[in-house]
Structure 1
Amino acid sequence: MNARDIAGTWLNHLAVERGLSQNTLSNYRRDVERYLDWLDRAGKTDLSDVSTADVEAYLQDLRRGVDGAKPLASSSASRALVVARGLHKFAVSEGNVAADVAADVSPPSSGQHLPDTLTVAEVTSLLDAIPTEDPIGLRDKALLELLYGTGARVSEALALLVDDVTDNDGVIVITGKGDKQRIVPIGSHARDAVDAYLVRGRPVFSRGKSHALFLNKRGGALSRQSAWTIIKHAAERAGIDKEISPHTLRHSYATHLREGGADVRTIQELLGHSSVTTTQIYTHITADNLREGWNLAHPRA
């Protein structure tokens, strides 16, 4: 059966039967399109013609980068493989193909990858570099203060409504992956920045079209791309030359909590990780910092 027909049925199944979020579906659609395009170039338009060797070759090409594409990190390649495996598994369950040729293909080894973070001084510099004389600056400062002050994913922050941050008694409810909600404290700096934006910034943008907390100049909800641009410009103003994104503030939030003595379980709850294994990465970061200090200070290091 044609691979694209099966993929369309599968994506519809994920949306209707599994109830995946639009953001997750968008990511799946992007990855499955990449896989289907690769199969087209390999002359495999029918899933029954695809072999385990083909799936392994696809994974290798993702890691190398082919046809002008940027090589994917092991984590991104692993996610792309998950989508390819999901497609093949679905095809078998529907009786479209006889065997699941992707089931035994292993994801690439990621090693120990430590996410990029900012120091406390760099975060302070980043946030202080945002001018707050106009509504745009007030919005940008509120967004970045909230990202760092709560550890929210950028998608979670942009999904917040005005009612989510008013009369909250020092905490906000964040809706994460799978519509799971968690309660997160919001610090005084983030609280003050959000309040200033609500009073002197958001009313300038609001056209009554959206209840979203963060608005663009046309009164619609702020996009993820705009959030990315905001932090890039803030980093330039602060003279920070690291490659950073809105997610960098989430990693920095968790790292600084861990270095300050917060336990892994607490950080897991604050970040909304379903497994503590994911949060263990911040233990590794702290261990590296301790090791570096030991290397510098111990006479027999």
Structure 2
Amino acid sequence: MDLAAAIDAYTLHAARVRRLSPATVRAYASDLRDLARTLADDMPLEDVELEHLREWQWRATQRGDARSTLARRAAAARGFFGWAVEEGMLAVDPTLRLVTPKRGRPLPKVATAPSMSGVLEALAARAAGGDGLALRDHAIVELLYAAGIRVAELCGLDLDDLDLGRRTARVLGKGAKERVVPFGEPARRALDAYLVRGRPPLAARRAEDVGPGRAASALFLGARGGRVSPRAVYDVVAREVGPALGSSAVGPHTLRHSAATHMLDGGADLRTVQELLGHASLGTTQLYTHVSAERLAATYRLAHPRA
């Protein structure tokens, strides 16, 4: 089998069998197709050697790709060639001696608790006017911050995933893993107002090209009545939260980072935060302890007379 055909087969395997997230599948497919273009689409799979892979990574380095990108490319290659060995297409995995560059772990951008309060108060004031999109935006930001969920998890929510009485939402996370996340009373009020006064007029806008019933079950709707898109959620967060952080490079993950950090600041243990965020590894959650420690150190330097 040639390289391009094998990559297509692996992409299907990654999505259907390994059940990697759509974003991960797209990223890996893009990396592997870049490998195929670098070598030759019709190159036999068994002819790929370690030196070819090193050359492929070297070109990305010369291009100025970030270490995180190089690490992802190496992961994509490992997954692909490991699968090819399992399927009997290859006798030897050429990635066994492929070095993965160490990823930098930059600390995530985090909003302060007072700045988030200001953002949410401004959104609540705008929503009080009764506009459907303003009510939706308030509910979106409240839920992202209250539950620390990912943008894909938020966009995938259906009406029956929400339990306002118990103040919980059932979300489908990475690897199709389901979890139930709690949220507080302010988020419940925002969601209730959106469902009663905001969602019905948005649902009425459903355009013909969206198709009848396509968004009937969706919790959050877009301006045309279809299920809200991740891009629309990014725009909402950048517009509403960005000014509070003095940056336009702010997205839904900023609210997730902020939720985790503020919970740790408030005394939550790492395991609880791990469960809330749906992290497979505690090591991922531990990143937020560094954020909290840095903020503690900064406060100490400002406040302690002997600092």
Instruction: Give the TM-score band, short-chain normalised.
Output: 0.7 to 0.9
Measured in 1, the distance between the counterparts of 2:47 and 2:288 equals 44
1:85 aligns with 2:78: yes
Could you tell me how far 1:30 is from its partner in structure 2? 3.5
Measured in 2, the distance between the counterparts of 1:84 and 1:168 equals 47
1:104 to 86, 97, 100: 97
Give 1:241's aligned residue.
247
Residue 54 and residue 295 in structure 1: after superposition, are their counterparts in 2 closer, same or farther (change >3 A)?
farther
| Structure 1, 30-39 or 129-138: larger mean CA deviation | 30-39
1:82-161 alignment, distance < 5 Å: 82-130=75-123, 131-132=126-127, 133=129, 134-161=131-158
Measured in 2, the distance between the counterparts of 1:280 and 1:235 equals 25
The answer on whether the counterparts of 1:28 and 1:83 sit within 8 Å (CA) in structure 2 is: no
**TM-score normalized by the length of structure 1:** 0.87
Measured in 2, the distance between the counterparts of 1:11 and 1:93 equals 15
SS in structure 2 at match of 1:280: helix
Give 2:46's aligned residue.
48
Residue 154 and residue 292 in structure 1: after superposition, are their counterparts in 2 closer, same or farther (change >3 A)?
same
The answer on whether the counterparts of 1:52 and 1:102 sit within 8 Å (CA) in structure 2 is: yes
Measured in 1, the distance between the counterparts of 2:48 and 2:159 equals 50
Could you tell me how far 1:137 is from its partner in structure 2? 1.0
Q: Which runs of 5+ in 1 are unaligned?
A: none
1:183 to 180, 185, 189: 180
Measured in 2, the distance between the counterparts of 1:115 and 1:183 equals 24
Measured in 2, the distance between the counterparts of 1:140 and 1:53 equals 51
The answer on whether the counterparts of 1:138 and 1:196 sit within 8 Å (CA) in structure 2 is: yes
Could you tell me how far 1:227 is from its partner in structure 2? 0.8
SS in structure 1 at match of 2:295: helix
Could you tell me how far 1:120 is from its partner in structure 2? 1.2
Amino acid corresponding to residue 115 of structure 2 in structure 1: E
Residue 238 and residue 79 in structure 1: after superposition, are their counterparts in 2 closer, same or farther (change >3 A)?
same
Query: What is the count of residue pairs matched by the alignment?
Result: 293
The answer on whether the counterparts of 2:19 and 2:176 sit within 8 Å (CA) in structure 1 is: no
Amino acid corresponding to residue 13 of structure 1 in structure 2: H
CA RMSD across the alignment: 2.4
Residue 182 and residue 116 in structure 1: after superposition, are their counterparts in 2 closer, same or farther (change >3 A)?
same
The answer on whether the counterparts of 1:209 and 1:219 sit within 8 Å (CA) in structure 2 is: no
Q: Which runs of 5+ in 2 are unaligned?
A: 207-212
Residue 15 and residue 299 in structure 1: after superposition, are their counterparts in 2 closer, same or farther (change >3 A)?
closer
Could you tell me how far 1:146 is from its partner in structure 2? 0.3
Residue 63 and residue 124 in structure 1: after superposition, are their counterparts in 2 closer, same or farther (change >3 A)?
farther
Measured in 2, the distance between the counterparts of 1:292 and 1:190 equals 30
